[in-house]
Each structure stands twice: as structure tokens, then as C-alpha cells.
């Protein structure tokens, strides 16, 4: 049976301090695993409390030993997988914004095609909607019909009445 990795009392205090300063839920759970391991809990107990598999708990503790607390407590997964920076997106959307402000209809499909050409690969339409949302764009469509439009019969009656008056 492999030797159990031991976390000292001073290391446990450092982990507790890092846990108080942390505001990321994923890292919080990782630090919780380390604290439970430091207090002598078995992998099966930690697994029951955290929902992690016992093998993953072993990997987390081993990673802590390899990289240290500072690197361990950083979330490795970044959410910004954008093709352009915010400034580049603003510059890219500027011609479309000017066209929309001048009264032209700007379609998302046009923006999507131009975006794909600019970044050099195909993209999903959801990505374009995220870009537009990030820059405060919203969907504005011309009305198909005026809500107070008269019925066809009323319009016809009006024109008949006008023809009588003109004749």
C-alpha cells in the first residue's frame, strides 16, 4: 500500500488562510479536500463529503505536493477564450454600428461572416451573439404592421368615399 502524504499543521494553517482569502468555488472545494486530508480523514470519507472520486482526491493532494499552495490555489481554467480583445471587437463592430445608426438594417449573419473572415476560421452563431451582448447591442426590428392600422374594409370604404368626392 502506498505511503500516505502527510500535511503538517503549519501547512494546514496556510491552507486555511488561503481558503479564507479565496472567492472561487472550485478552488474552495480543492482546499477543503486538502484540509480534510490534513485532519486525517480517509479518501472514502472525503469522497462522500465532496463528491470527488477517491482517485481524484489522491491526484489533488499529489498536485499540492508537486506545485505548492500558491500555484495549487490558482484556478487553471480561464473563461476568456475570445478570438479578439475587447478593443479589437469595438473596432470591428464600428462600421456595423455606423450603418445601424444611419438607419440601415444590420443582420447578424453579415456580422458573423465578417467576424469569421477576420479571425480566419469558422465560428458558432452563439459567439457572435455573445460579442454583441458584451457591447450592449440589442435586437431591434421594424414593426411588420402598425398596431392601430385600420382594417382593409375601412381603408376600401375611405378610398371609395374619396373617389366619390373627387369625381
pLDDT tens digits, one per residue of 73-100: 776 665 556 788 889 999 999 999 999 8
| Phi and psi torsions of 166, nearest 5° | -75, -35
Q: What pLDDT shows up at residue 165?
A: 65
- Per-domain residue ranges of the chain: 9-72, 86-134
Rounded to 5°, the CA angle 52-54-58 comes to 105
pLDDT tens digits, one per residue of 135-146: 998 887 777 777
Rounded distance between C-alpha atoms, residue 74 and residue 77, angstroms: 9
Give the cell for residue 78.
Answer: 480561464
Amino acid at each position: 500500500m502506498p505511503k500516505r502524504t502527510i500535511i503538517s499543521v503549519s501547512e494546514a494553517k496556510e491552507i486555511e488562510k488561503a481558503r479564507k482569502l479565496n472567492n472561487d468555488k472550485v478552488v474552495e472545494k480543492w482546499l477543503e479536500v486538502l484540509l480534510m486530508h490534513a485532519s486525517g480523514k480517509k479518501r472514502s470519507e472525503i469522497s462522500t463529503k465532496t463528491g470527488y472520486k477517491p482517485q481524484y482526491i489522491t491526484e489533488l493532494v499529489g498536485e499540492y505536493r508537486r506545485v505548492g499552495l500558491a500555484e495549487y490555489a490558482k484556478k487553471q481554467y480561464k473563461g476568456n477564450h475570445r478570438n479578439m480583445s475587447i478593443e479589437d471587437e469595438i473596432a470591428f463592430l464600428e462600421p456595423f454600428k455606423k450603418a445601424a445608426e444611419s438607419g440601415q438594417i444590420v443582420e447578424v449573419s453579415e456580422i458573423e461572416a465578417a467576424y469569421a473572415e477576420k479571425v480566419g476560421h469558422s465560428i458558432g452563431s452563439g459567439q457572435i451573439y455573445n460579442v454583441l451582448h458584451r457591447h450592449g447591442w440589442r435586437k431591434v426590428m421594424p414593426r411588420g404592421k402598425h398596431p392601430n392600422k385600420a382594417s382593409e374594409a375601412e381603408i376600401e370604404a375611405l378610398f371609395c368615399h374619396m373617389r366619390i368626392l373627387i369625381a
